[in-house]
Structures are given as C-alpha cells and as structure tokens.
Structure 1
Amino acid sequence: MAWAPNPPNFYRQFTSENLERLDQWKKEHCSELDKNGDASISLLNLPAELRYLVPPSTPPNGDYRLFGVTRTTRDYLRPLEEQGITQLYPPTTSIHTPDRGVHLRQLTRSILLSFLELIGILSQNPSEIERKQEEIKTMFLNALHLINEYRPHQARESLILRMEDEIERGRAEVDEIKRLKTKVEGLVKAADEDAVMADAGAPLNGLVNGEPNGIHRSGSEETGDLRVQRAIWDLLNTELSGS
C-alpha cells in the first residue's frame, strides 16, 4: 500500500503542448475574452484534454469549498459558536467581561489541573479518558481563540514599529547628507579664500593677451580648482564607502 494516494489522472493533461494549445485557443477567441475575461471560457467548447487547464473563477461571495469544507476568503476571526466549540469565557458583549489576560491565566490553570486529573483517570478508569481529553481540547481551543483576538493589535503594532524604523532611517540619511554638505561647503569656502588671495597678487593681463573680458586665469588658479575638486571627491568616496 502506498503511503499517499495517487494524484488524480487529469494531472497528465498539464503538458507544455496542451498549454500552447490553450494559449492558441485564447488568441483565436481574444475578442470574447477581452470583454468578459477568462471566466467567460466555456469548458464545453474546449477539447476534453484542455478543460482541466482552465483555473476556476474567483468565488463571487468569498466562500468556497475545499475538501468538502466550506471556507471563506474574508479575513476575520470566526466566533467559537460558529465553529461548534463551547466558549468557556463570557462573550465580548457581556458587561462582566474582564481583561483577556485574566481568562488566559484561568484557562492555563484549568488545563494544568485537567492534565493532572487525566493522569489520575488513566490509573483508575481509562474508559473515561475521552471525556477528559475533549475537555482539555476545548480549553486549548478557547485559549488559542483569545490569543488570536490579539492578532489585529499585533499587526498594528508591528506596522507602527516598521514605520518608525523607516522614519529613523530617513532622518539618519538626512543628517548624514547635511554633515557632508557642511564639509563640502567648508572646502569650497577655503578654495574661494585661496582664490581671492591669489587674485589680489596677480597682474591684470587681460588686455595684454588680447582678452577683452578682464583677468585671465593663471595656471596656479586652475591647479587650485582641481585640488578642491579632488578633495571633494575624496571626501565623498571616503564617507560613502564607510556608510
């Protein structure tokens, strides 16, 4: 006997050749598909070997059946009563409902006590073990349901923490950019001061060389500009490579 049942026979129809044939069929009926989508494909119009390749349409109301069990795509926590489970703590609408943590502690103590009782039953009357097992199972399901009621709060807090981390990371990047900007401005300011001092001692040679626009830049000034540019690039490379 095999350890698992054999897959359904139609899995053999999922071949590359059949997929190409299905794509070709869709192209031939593209006008109909553009209007109504894949859900408009009539399985009766397809060859038998291609019918299994068409995925089922989306459930219109969010409910579907899986292995004989009705499930839903809606994201909500079903009450215990809807699941056929006895609720051991007061309902949410009760005015006597305290904090969920109190119920969790009570259920935890009850589970421990029931487990000790289960050991005693095993030693004295094993025929009653099923009843005690069901009681413990119900307690566990109630405790898990209480924990799951905290899931929306957990998701909200996790999102808040992630957003705070993103904000802190953005602020750190802005501070780093401001720090680099201050260093670059210092280099540029120092270069401007050096250029002013060089201009103060340089002769006016614009007209001598036929330049009508005033002072001609000397080689020392151009060398100074290149030195400042290299210093800025070295600064950026050092800072960015270390970040």
Structure 2
Amino acid sequence: MMDDEETELRNPFPSPPSHYLRYTTHNLNLLELLRERVGQDAELSSVNQYEVLSDQTDVPEWPLSQLEKPRVDWILEEGQYTVFGDTFYVKEKIPSLEELGGHQLYPQDPSVDRRPALRSILRSMLVTYSKLLDSLLAPPPTSSSHIEAEWKQHLEWINVLAQNIMGVANDLRPVQARGNLELMMRRQLELRREETKAIHAKCDALEAQLAELRMSAQGLVSPTAAAASGFTGGQTTQAVKSPDVSGMSIDEVLRWAEEVL
C-alpha cells in the first residue's frame, strides 16, 4: 500500500494504460500478416489466429484484433462512440426528453411553435396542483387506500409536467447562448466605437493646442531677432568691412557698433 502511494506521489499524472505495451513491431507485423491471409474485409474477432499464423513465433494469447485502429466510418455513421464505458456523440447535442425515456408533451421539431403546448402544460400543472391540495385537505375517508392513490397520481403527473418544462428550457439553451453572444459582441463593438471617438477627440484637441503654440511662437519673434537675422543674412551675401580702430576713440567704436547692429 505504501509503495502505491509513493508511486502516486512520484507520478503526478496517471500512467498510460498497459495496453500500449502490446503495440510492438512484432505484434503489428503479425496483425498485418493476419489481415493479408484472411482478407481485408474479414472480421478478425471470428478468426482463429493460431491456425492462420501457425508458422509464426511468439503469437500472443490475446486477440490481435485489439491492435486495429478504430473504424472512423463506423463512428461517423453511428454518430457516437464509447470510451471506458461512456458514450460520446460526434456532434454534441442535447438529448430530448423522449430520448431520455420521459413522457414528452411538446412537439419534437424545434421549428414548430411550442407555445400552445407550453400553455397547456402550465394550465394542467395549476389544475393538478389545485386537485392535489384538495385531496390533501379533504377529510379522511373510511378507507385510506383511495385518498393515498389519488394524491400520488397528482404528484406523479406534476413530476411529468415539470420534466417537460425543464426539457423545453434545456432545448432553449443554444438559443440563449446565441443571444448572449450577440449581446456581448454588440457591447464590445459599442465600446470600441466609444474608445475610437475619444481618441479622435483627443487628437483634435492636441492639434488645436499645437496650432496655438505655433502661432504663439511666431508672435514672439522680436525686432532685435529680426535685425539679427537680417545681419546674419547680410553676412552671407556681402562681407562686413571692419574699420581701423587703432586711431579711434572708445565713443567712435561704440557709435560704429550701433550703426552696424
């Protein structure tokens, strides 16, 4: 027992079934040879593999037909397959109440309007519930078998009606899921449109601010800067002549500088 627990602790995931050990090269070659000798369409489960493979060695005791691949065409034809005792459908569907062995009171075809049948079921449930209360509140009769059988019948019929209502609700689950998905996609589309509109509004506001800053920058150009730019431009076309300041006074040099600037 302790060894098994230690093995489980060492292996967090369950080990594969021991059946995979049978898929050896030798066994697969025996299966192919058996299929060639009995025919491709023959049923291997009814063939004595020891007689057919009498000239071969190490023929297993278990049937080689267990190594065959599952017939996908059979699965698609039947629409279901069984694994470890559980049945799975190729195309998932909700079984109807009739397929589950219940007493179905509404039409099976989903294209048929079920509202009249549902109204009848609801009225029948209300009437049966009223009769059930009457049978329970009635004075006890001389024989208890009659009254006991009556309320049991009402209770069984209410159970059948409730199963039909739940069956219709289960059939409407795909419609509800489709409606919820449609609403969710519409809401996501509305949110994206609102986000896009907010982004466009923010971009317009930034463009307006940039335009204002550009106009403010153009208005801040001073006459001194303009003169300096003109002076700089003049330097590119005509060189400025520097006078001989060796014999000039300081006032004359300052006057010359003001005239140049």
Within 5 A, what are the aligned runs for 1:85-124?
85-92=102-109, 97=112, 99-122=113-136, 123=138
In the aligned structure 2, how far is the partner of 1:74 from the partner of 1:12?
A: 39
Q: Is the 8 A contact 2:135 2:150 kept in 1?
A: yes
Can you list the C-alpha shifts for 1:81-131, whole angstroms capped at 9, x where unaligned? 21111121344289xx5x323322221111111122223344461134433
In the aligned structure 2, how far is the partner of 1:11 from the partner of 1:106?
A: 60
| Correspondent of 1:198 among 200, 220, 224 | 220
| Correspondent of 2:207 among 176, 185, 188 | 185
Q: Name the SS of the counterpart of 2:94 in structure 1.
A: coil
Aligned pair 1:163/2:185, yes or no? yes
CA RMSD of aligned residues (A): 4.0
Within 5 A, what are the aligned runs for 1:1-243?
12=5, 15-19=8-12, 42=20, 63-64=81-82, 70=87, 72=89, 74-92=91-109, 97=112, 99-122=113-136, 123=138, 125-199=147-221, 201=223, 202-203=225-226, 205=228
The Cα of 1:72 is off from its aligned counterpart by: 4.9
Tell me: CA distance 1:136–1:63, structure 2 relative to 1, closer, same or farther (3 Å). farther
Tell me: CA distance 1:139–1:20, structure 2 relative to 1, closer, same or farther (3 Å). closer
The Cα of 1:154 is off from its aligned counterpart by: 1.3
Larger radius of gyration: 2
Q: Name the SS of the counterpart of 2:221 in structure 1.
A: helix
In the aligned structure 2, how far is the partner of 1:182 from the partner of 1:41?
A: 70
The Cα of 1:165 is off from its aligned counterpart by: 0.7
In the aligned structure 1, how far is the partner of 2:154 from the partner of 2:87?
A: 29
TM-score of the superposed pair, with normalisation by structure 2: 0.51
In the aligned structure 2, how far is the partner of 1:106 from the partner of 1:191?
A: 76
Q: Is the 8 A contact 2:106 2:114 kept in 1?
A: no
Paired residues in the alignment total: 170
Tell me: CA distance 1:186–1:197, structure 2 relative to 1, closer, same or farther (3 Å). same
Percent identity (aligned): 25
Q: Is the 8 A contact 2:106 2:118 kept in 1?
A: no
Q: Is the 8 A contact 2:135 2:151 kept in 1?
A: yes
The Cα of 1:148 is off from its aligned counterpart by: 2.2
TM-score of the superposed pair, with normalisation by structure 1: 0.55
Q: Name the SS of the counterpart of 1:112 in structure 2.
A: helix
The Cα of 1:189 is off from its aligned counterpart by: 0.3
Aligned AA (2:20): S
The Cα of 1:197 is off from its aligned counterpart by: 2.1
Tell me: CA distance 1:134–1:143, structure 2 relative to 1, closer, same or farther (3 Å). same
Aligned AA (1:42): Y
Single out whichever of 120-129 and 130-139 deviates more from structure 2: 120-129
In the aligned structure 2, how far is the partner of 1:111 from the partner of 1:170?
A: 48
Q: Is the 8 A contact 2:107 2:114 kept in 1?
A: no
